[in-house]
């Protein structure tokens, strides 16, 4: 299928915040293996393919980067600051997944490392992921 547009189109990505439903909740983050923000912590996510929805993209990227499979997603929001990604204009849809406990995760694809972080001790994150995380925590609290 070919596309012809009069106006430029931004890239679309999806991010998946995974938080445990424990007395001391934790969140799964990846350490980026490449630029931009190499060696910085980030929410698992990536660019949407033409044959998938943003929900499918979030699930796929989480599996590719951490080997974790989830199915129940809650939309956190849409993030579209003009300068949010130094690679170019990108709009991201962020989702929240809640799991009973921390699952075994493996850093793979472009994730150099994965780690479950306490919600009370999060690192500085890549892109605008601090904003996404703030909104994810608010949604998590409202759902629990």
**Residues designated as active site:** 113
141 CB-near residues (< 8 Å, 6+ apart): none
Cβ neighbours around 52 below 10 Å, total: 13
134 CB-near residues (< 8 Å, 6+ apart): none
State both tokens at 90.
């990108």
């Amino acid at each position: 299928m070919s596309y012809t547009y009069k106006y430029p189109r931004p890239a679309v990505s999806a991010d998946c915040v995974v938080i445990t439903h424990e007395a001391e909740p934790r969140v799964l983050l990846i350490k980026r293996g490449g630029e931009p923000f190499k060696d910085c912590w980030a929410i698992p996510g990536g660019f949407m393919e033409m044959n998938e929805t943003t929900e499918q993209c979030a699930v796929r990227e989480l599996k590719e980067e951490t080997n974790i499979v989830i199915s129940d997603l809650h939309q956190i929001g849409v993030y579209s600051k003009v300068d949010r990604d130094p690679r170019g204009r990108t709009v991201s849809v962020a989702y929240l997944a809640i799991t009973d406990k921390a699952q075994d995760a493996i850093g793979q694809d472009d994730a150099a490392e994965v780690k479950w972080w306490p919600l009370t001790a999060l690192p500085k994150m890549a892109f605008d992921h601090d904003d996404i995380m703030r909104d994810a925590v608010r949604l998590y609290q409202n759902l629990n």
